[in-house]
A and B are shown apart, each in its own frame.
Chain A
Amino acid sequence: MHFKARASAAAADKALQAKLATAKGLFVEGRRRAVAEIDLEATREASKAIRNRCIANLDLWLERFEEEATRRGGQVLWARDGAEICRLVVDIARRHGVRKAIKSKSMLSEEAGLNAALEAAGVQPVETDLGEYILQINGNESPSHIIAPAIHKTKEEVAELFERVHGKPRKTDIGEMTREAREMLRAHFLSADMGISGGNFLVAETGSVALVTNEGNGRMVTTLPKVHVVITGVEKVIPTLEDLATLMRILPRSATGQTISNYFSVLTGVKRPEDTDGPEHLYFILVDNGRVDLVGSGFQDMLRCIRCAACMNHCPVYQTIGGHAYGWVYPGPMGAVLTPLFVGLENAIDLPHAATLCNQCGVVCPVKIPLPDLMRKLREQQVERGLRPWGERAALTFWAWLARHPALYGLAAKLGVRYLSWLAGGEDRIRILGIAPAWTDGRDFPAPEGRTFRELYSEKHR
């Protein structure tokens, strides 16, 4: 099913929109309150500058990160694409005789389809983020939001799922349901041999990975098992802990409206003799998967993204169609830009057009990514590469030619308006518009006054 079909189905799904609206209320209201505590514009500028600084010298900061992480007992591995991520993780699992891997949220593992690869290799992956867990036990459903993966489910749907899968009496209270999930997960936490996490930032000067979570599962995943594998995109590196402090002022506020997330970990190196916990083996899999090509391209700005989800939380289109309609890992405005860049322009032809360019996203983005401009640039590339439908191109070319010939344009406008008036048949609206049926499927088209401004004006000024 293509984007259009999925989006149309979702646009008619008022239950989905009600669920999204509840979450939107929390996120949008929460963000509004939280960003009022800081000098928002100055922090956005500073965050943008930090991210730009890393990306401008990405190779140098990555080398520095590798050096520091290695010095502290970590091993840095590089993956070109999703298949390489899977191969590396499976290799690590084999080397350490891993049978079960517990996971905290990692978007890269979604990009790679890692769970399926682990299962195929005889390793049981267990998602421990509550939202991801819900999706996993529901037949490996895909996430529909980057920080609230199960946002498309109601409490009742989850209660029903838990009852069915856990085989326990149905709960109705969210607290009780969470407790039940925690009990189910506890055994996994204790029996897993490997923890897999994403990383919000990599700190070059200390070789650390910073993790922002709200459920505490991230701590267990990264400290209990003897092996910890961090999988993250190469663009996540930042120079210093000082930079981390700045970005942390804006990330939780933009994401969930929190001053600081419930848990914030900066993990550095393997367990030392004097440490009470921590992994004995620490691997960093740093992934390209399309990112490196963006450096120096017209889309470099996109690499600043810190995956806060503010853009989708504020996007009227996302709020109407939800995340699944976007068809890949990343939904909303950031997905409308990233997906075509990562999976190929021709494989996501509708996404850059699935936006009104209202720029709600651009004004809330904590690192000032001009998302609508990037969508427009993708549209330009589609035109340059001949990927737009022939009819659309022909219509636009003809219209643009006409608009450069005022006399002919005036005549065409005059005739067009007469035609529209005739369609309205004396009413103040057109109910069915043959040339743009998609418009009148969902609303009327107000009838024109009857004559063009140009006609009336030249009459008056003759």
Chain B
Amino acid sequence: MKTKFGFDIHDNRQIDLDLEDTRFADEVAVVVKSWKACMKCGACVGTCPVGKGVLNLTGINYQPALTTCLMCGKCLLVCPRGINTRHLILEVMNKYREYGKAV
């Protein structure tokens, strides 16, 4: 956003762990336990035909990107931690619906 003073105002880039709400993640992890084992290696993103991968899709802030997932399962084949990524993506979608958010 451009202000009349000539400054740009951006969203706060800092991640404030003090205010973190993990309820959503915890609920998903009840169903797909292996999600917690993600080591953020990025292999799923590297292989994803739409450039997303589970890493980018399942954080609550990335919600709009969920619609671009093709459900191709390539991320499932490369994940070194053996996470059932397709199940995970579906579960995140389910949870969004439950929370009354558009997917």
Q: Decide whether A and B are members of one complex.
A: no
A residues with CB within 8 A of B: none
